[in-house]
Structure 1
Amino acid sequence: MAVQPAKRAFVKPCPYDLCDGSGMVVDWDANETYRCRCWPEQVQRRRARRLSNVVPKKFQNLGFDREPLPSIERSAPVQVRAVRQFCERIDEMLDRGRGMWFLGSPGTGKSHLAYLISQHAMTAGRSVAIYTGPRLLDEIRRTYGDDESGSTLDLIDRLTSVELLHIEDLAVARPTDWVLEQLYNIINGRYENEKSIVFTCDLTGDEDEPGMIHPEHLAKHITMRNFSRLMEMCGDPLPLYGEDHRRNF
């Protein structure tokens, strides 16, 4: 049987080497076209293009051997090593739905490490959505005024199906009931579908222990049901302490 991939102007490799990345294969002997094994992944990536995947200029072209990563590594060698290992196994980690989260005070390198993961995921051809916590919620709010029926559900569905969701400053948003409901829809959807999350958080204490860093503070902020799911998906946080690197660069 002579089987050839369907012709397409833009070619993206098929992970199964069965088509040209279009998601369609042509059987010339049978004179028929059928969907490749990678079809669901191609559909997922097309839908993900409607999400934000813009890496800010500040975090473009990051490298473990370029500043400020060497400086961050000197103060947090264990954390940087963990990120390096994650990036080296990016396909495996995303296929397993594994994530990471970075907890600490401002300017300690949380965002740089998170963007390194997103950068490696994009280089590997994986779909990535990048948002700050407030912008993510603003995007959802906008859909409530949309005349198109089901636009909110469509956005939530895309946010739960993209291969990597990167959220900066997860704990910034004021935790109203509406905010907590939207976070649960996204986090639980990704949890059930084993999709990876990478996020940063600088929630570092309360009135009783100002300045102290405890993961449980996030649980109080976003509810235990959200926190529990994130802990299973991402494991223990990578804490970053020390001086504010922004004062040096």
Structure 2
Amino acid sequence: MIEFINVHKTLRQKSHRTKVLEGVNVEFGPDRLTGILAPPRSGKTVVANLTTGKLRPDIGRVRRSSLVSFPVASGGVFNGALTGRENLAFLCRVFGFDPVPIIRFVLDFTEIGKSIDKPFRHLNRDERTKLLFTSCYAIPFETYIIDESLIGGRGAFRTRCEELVTERMRSAGFLIVTSSPTLLRKYCNDFFIIDEFKIQEVNSAEEAENWFGKDKLKDGVGELEHVADGDENDIIPV
């Protein structure tokens, strides 16, 4: 279970402040496929990062009683100066897993070969995308956090990625934060919205969509061909 207890969060940038959450109390059940719908620029990434622990509430607490992933395909969990293998080994140690079988799984699944021993910043976009999507699903988390993008890559890899997600959904919970009603309808069985600085439960994906109206949302199927380039070096804490 993931529980928000009286959570308040405001983003502060120089002299500008943006309120995101105010007094939120909500529970997300274990082993559930949960969707949180909200329009763009309404705090979805903040909610995802509060859930993983990358961000902390200004007031209140986020309590996790299961092993929660970092956001799927988040470039911020890999250090650009380290190799793919070194990054994976570090993440496995952080979350308490033996890195050997997980690295072996990633090598077999991505088929990137010797590129896993290149510094992450030197990988091409296809290699980077394959590594970021696979690395999260390779670790047996109890709850996976999705910030819009659930599946990535091109061609045969995308097909394998979708099959892997389906397999993980049989044994783990997913928390999908998105602007896409289609994504909620396709995957989720619990439904929430972010509105007026609160997170509240609704009965269906249709109710969530109607709450905002189609013109305020950005529909999609949770697929990303390539992750953005960049050299981020922050590791998400647990």
Same fold (TM over 0.5): no
Interval of TM-score (by shorter of Structure 1 and Structure 2) = 0.3 to 0.5
Structure with the greater alpha carbon radius of gyration:
1
Structure 1 or 2: more strand by fraction: 2
